[in-house]
Structure 1
Amino acid sequence: MTNHTPAPVVCLHSLFLDPRMFDGLASAGDGRIEVIAPELLGQVSRVHDVRQTVTMDQVTDDVLRTIDELGLERFSLVGQSMGGDVAIRIAARRPAAIEKIVLLGSSARAQSQEDLGEFATLPDRIQREGFTPEIVDIVMTIMFGASTLVDSDRLDIRETWRSRIAELSPDLVHAVRGVFEREGCVDLLPSIKAPALIVSGTEDLGRPPAWSDELFDGIPDARLLRHKHGHSPILELPELVVPLVLQFLDPR
């Protein structure tokens, strides 16, 4: 009988959320995968480490430093939203190091003010007002689909993340601006050599389905999973998404 060493999986969280979004994946994959979920630059306990807009390339450089410090030579990536922006850049920079990549509620597009629509003033409001109940409501509509926001079976997850978002510091604005003003990286997609699983929600306001289709079209070895959920599939449909992600990462 051979011992199985858990496969390292670097999990990169979304803006407004934190590494706890991957707790369900870590629990389900215990003994099969080793979840490594760093706090991204300018967020969570590192929110005061920056004093100006944090770019996707800066966050990528920071995560790569962590990966190098850990001595990881080959690993998989899981990223949601902003975490996906960073995962794409890592996979393109170090194609030989990536075993597999999972992109949840992600895209490779630049963010335009036109696409932001009614959300365009959110960074200024966060800086000025902090995470008031009204702003928390707005963030919840970005992070979770319409079905999740009214489903009585999802009440616990809504209440958990609503309370966490309400506790966020106004200084998160530097990371928010980084996402809202990000440059695109569609040109990097063909450089990704690892097999990719793209999970997209029909109710995702932040990264609409057509944006995930670009990932599917651009990454050479990609599969696309689409269901009725919003921006945070691993939280909104964990009973479906977690096993599928785990099976993709470690198909034993």
Structure 2
Amino acid sequence: MPFAHAADGTALHYDVHGERGGPPLLLLSGQSNSHRWWDAVRDGFDAEFTTVALDHRGTGESGRPDTDTYSTPGFARDVVAVLDHAGIERAHVYGTSMGGRIAQWLAAGFPERVDRLVLGCTSPGAPHGVERGPEVRAALAQPDAAAARRALAELMYTPEWIAARLAADPGHTFHTLGDPTMPAYARRRHLRASARHDAWEALPRIAAPTLVVHGTEDLFNPTANAPLLVERIPDARLQLIPGARHAYFEEFEGVATPLVIDFLRSKGEEGQEQEEGQEGEE
């Protein structure tokens, strides 16, 4: 298992899958989740890309310092350390939820490392973003842990989809519901890092072609954040997925994965069209 090391010495576990020689695609997972966040959909990208996914500090096999080193800009610097260790100068980046917040800082602060950017079910952060409602906060904070987990699952997926998965496999693991190996202090630090995210002033510096994807029924990270990102990031595009909740990329994989791949592919096509247009003018 490869490990990079952050500037503070924290070990950062990552893995590389997919079509070696294919364009590199960095996958960034959500808050309190390891690289396993992508397990259910990663095969759809591996056929065409060299995918790289990491365990954020505090998760998976990465180091878990109980220090004040958890922030979305700091996570972005961790990502750069992983790219350096993997020998990847430039990659497509697909970040969802808190991973999308990290991706914002990566694209704004390290533009030379980002080819195309996909921001999924994410937000510019406070104070300009749209926060989840009090009823959602109350459901997630209830003292009954099992009930809180059910509430989280239903913010991620539609009840019908959950029921179908459990009917087919009663022991089905939903990897988007958090890394069960995380210590409590790391969960708290992840929550604080995500809550303190504010990339509003940095967003106009993003130069990478950007696609913003969001489910229309996302209450966990309200859908209203998507147009805010599109308005703030130069030439960004918006794609809403009707009926989808927070984990749109998994439940609606048949829609979401092809549209993301089409966007990532389109660079070559646009470049070819531009070259052909220049030749015609000459």
Equivalent residue, structure 2, for 1:230: 245
1:241 aligned to 256, 266, 269, which one? Answer: 256
Q: Secondary structure at the match of 2:249?
A: helix
Deviations 1:200-227 (A, max 9, x none): 1111112212111111111112111112
- 1:15–1:25 Cα change, 3 Å: same
Match of 1:21 among 37, 41, 45: 37
Change (3 A) 1:73 1:99: same
Cα distance, 1:242 vs structure 2: 0.9
In structure 2, the residue matched to 1:35 is: 51
Say yes or no: does 1:186 pair with 2:196.
no
Q: Structure 1 residue 175 and structure 2 residue 190: aligned?
A: yes
Q: Is the 8 A contact 1:132 1:166 kept in 2?
A: no
Give the AA of the match of 1:238: E
Encode CA deviations 1:91-134: one digit per residue, 9 max, x unaligned.
Answer: 001223311001110111226997562455799x69xx7x9312
How far has the Cα of 1:153 moved from its partner?
A: 4.1
Q: For 2:115, which of 96, 99, 102 is the aligned residue?
A: 99
Task: Determine the structure 1 residue equivalent to 2:159.
Answer: 149
Q: CA deviation at 1:75?
A: 0.9
Residue of structure 2 equivalent to 1:135:
148
Greater relative contact order (CA < 8 Å, ≥ 6 in sequence):
1
Matched residues in 2 for 1:167 and 1:97: separation? 31
Q: Report the TM-score, using the length of structure 1 for normalisation.
A: 0.82
Percent identity, please: 26
Across the aligned residues of Structure 1 and Structure 2, the Cα RMSD in angstroms comes to: 3.2
TM-score w.r.t. the length of structure 2 is 0.74
> 1-side partners of 2:224 and 2:178: how far apart?
27
Specify the alignment match of 1:9 in structure 2: 25
Mapped contact 2:176–2:247 kept (Cα < 8 A): no
Shift of 1:161: 0.9
Which segments of 5 or more consecutive residues in structure 1 lack a partner in the other structure?
none
Q: 2: CA distance between counterparts of 1:117 and 1:46?
A: 33
Distance (whole Å) between structure 1 residues aligned to residue 265 and residue 130 of structure 2? 39
- TM superposition shift of 1:240: 0.7
| 3-state secondary structure, aligned to 1:88 | helix
Runs of 5+ unmatched residues, structure 2: 1-19, 269-282
Task: State the alpha-carbon separation in 2 of the partners of residues 157 and 189 from structure 1.
Answer: 42
CA distance in 2, matches of 1:74, 1:242: 21
TM-superposed CA distance for 1:39, in Å, is 0.6
In structure 1, give the amino acid aligned to 2:260: V
Structure number with higher helix proportion: 1
Q: Map Cα deviations across residues 124-164 of structure 1 (whole Å, 9 max, x no partner).
A: x69xx7x931231232244x14xx22334454699421796
- How many residues are aligned here? 242
Alignment of structure 1 residues 57-72 onto 2, 5 Å: 57-72=73-88
CA deviation digits over 1:164-189, x for unaligned, max 9? 64835434222122223x13111111
Residues in 1 aligned to 2:149 and 2:94: alpha-carbon distance in whole angstroms: 25
Q: For residue 214 of structure 1, what is the aligned residue in structure 2?
A: 228
Query: Which protein has the larger Cα radius of gyration, Structure 1 or Structure 2?
Result: 2
Correspondence for 2:125: 109
Once residues 184 and 28 of structure 1 are traced to their aligned partners in structure 2, the CA distance between those partners, rounded to angstroms, is 31
Contact 2:152 2:177 in 1 (8 A): no
Query: Which residue type is aligned with residue 192 of structure 1?
Result: I
CA distance in 2, matches of 1:16, 1:203: 22
Give 1:199 shift: 0.7
Equivalent pair of 2:136/2:219 in contact (CA under 8 Å): no
Query: Residues 96 and 193 of structure 1 are in contact (CA less than 8 Å); yes or no, is this contact kept in structure 2?
Result: no
